[in-house]
Structure 1
Amino acid sequence: MKKINSLLSILLITTLLAACGTTTGNENANQPDTEIKNAEQTEATGSTPETKEEIKGTLTKSESQNYSVTLMDGFELTGEEPNKDMLFNTENDAQSMRIETFDSSEVNLDETTNNLVEILKASNESGKLVEISDKNQLPNNEGIKEVKGYQIDTPEGMVSGYTFEREGLIVKLTIFDTNENPALDKFVKMAETINKD
């Protein structure tokens, strides 16, 4: 009986609200939408402002490719060979990130990812390649989509690879890290700032 009374009360309240003036109805209808939009904006940009605030460094343009990246203090970007740059730790050059970029109209992302996987496997033929599922270890920023990440352990340290698309730019990254004082999180944060010029 209580359930029926509750149901009748809800129906009565709904009818009364619908019968009220259109101004009140619209205000009530718009308020949740605004709250939802704010919640969506907070959720959608939740990690983006944090990433941008955490990255303090110098915006640097690649000399051989069509992108810019923000470099943290203690890191440098240099051309390795045509269409390949090396971002490295100046205090420990065994920690580095190879950056390759391609126009998405000319290169297929899946093929680029497959190529990356082969490169990682070649870095340790007896090692086991693992796909990265932890979102905190994947580049995540506004405009970044189709992110794939893989890791393989080597005697020197972890080798990680990422591919993603951002604003018509396909990005392929190979990160060489060390077992002592690993810097993967810093490389991932810098990778999030890669933007097409």
Structure 2
Amino acid sequence: MKKVHSLISIISLSIVLGACGTTTESEKTDQPAPTTETKNSEETVSPTNPEQELLGTTVESENQNYSITVVDNFELTSEEPNKDLIFNQENDLQSMRIETFDSNNETLNDVTQNLVDTLQASNDSGTVVEITDQNLIPTNESIKDAKAFQIDTPSGKVTGYTFVREGLIVKLTVFDTNESPALETFVKMAETIKVK
């Protein structure tokens, strides 16, 4: 009788423990679902956020008629008359030359041809190609007739842009490196160029 009683106790205990284990596994299975939903909702919300204004400092050129927002770790300096340079303080091989022209005195076609010649001069054996990737071209509602070109050089890509904004023709030459490229950062800053 004791053996039967012990056997019944063991079986009952096994059933109870088995049931507890099932509940715990069930709870564990249920737990990841809310986490997944949270991740999904975060991913869904993220792309729909409105485009944020570029964080940085708005700086006016000392010798040209424009201002630009410069992000942290980059600096705007005067290179020579009618030429400024934004360079990466952490890697001075990455820079963007800024030249501006009054559209009453110059044509966009002439400035663009000059840009292509400048790019070609950076690598005689390379080929200048037009850029079509919109992420690599400065755009906003005030920028008109943007043109973008690029050439490979041994030290990295050289990219050039021309566009018109508020009667100002802008010519940009970006010198970038193959490692940790900064082109998209320069493009974002370029989008903020406007007449002062």
- TM-score, normalised relative to structure 2: 0.74
Corresponding position: 1:196 with 2:163: no
Alpha-carbon shift at residue 142 of structure 1 (Å): 2.0
Percent of residue pairs bearing the same amino acid type:
65
Give deviations 1:57-79, integer Å, cap 9, x for gaps: 00000001000000000000000
2:150 corresponds in structure 1 to 151
Find the counterpart in structure 2 of residue 120 from structure 1: 119
- Residues of 1 paired with 2:53 and 2:69: CA distance? 11
Deviations 1:19-74 (A, max 9, x none): xxxxxxxxxxxxxxxxxxxxxxxxxxxxxx62xx1510000000010000000000
Deviations 1:86-140 (A, max 9, x none): 0000010100000000111111000000000000000001111110011111100
Gaps of 5+ in 1: 1-48
Superposition pairs of residues 3-152 of structure 1, within 5 angstroms: 50=51, 53=52, 55-152=54-151
CA distance in 1, matches of 2:54, 2:154: 30
**SS at structure 1 position matched to 2:84:** strand
Q: Which amino acid aligns with 1:99?
A: I
Match of 2:170 in 1: 171
Q: Secondary structure at the match of 1:180?
A: coil
Task: Compute the TM-score of the two structures, normalised by the length of structure 1.
Answer: 0.73
Deviations 1:162-194 (A, max 9, x none): 000000000000000001100000000000000
- After TM superposition, the structure 1 stretch with the greater mean CA deviation from structure 2, 54-63 or 66-75, is 54-63
What RMSD, in angstroms, separates the aligned Cα atoms of the two structures?
A: 0.8
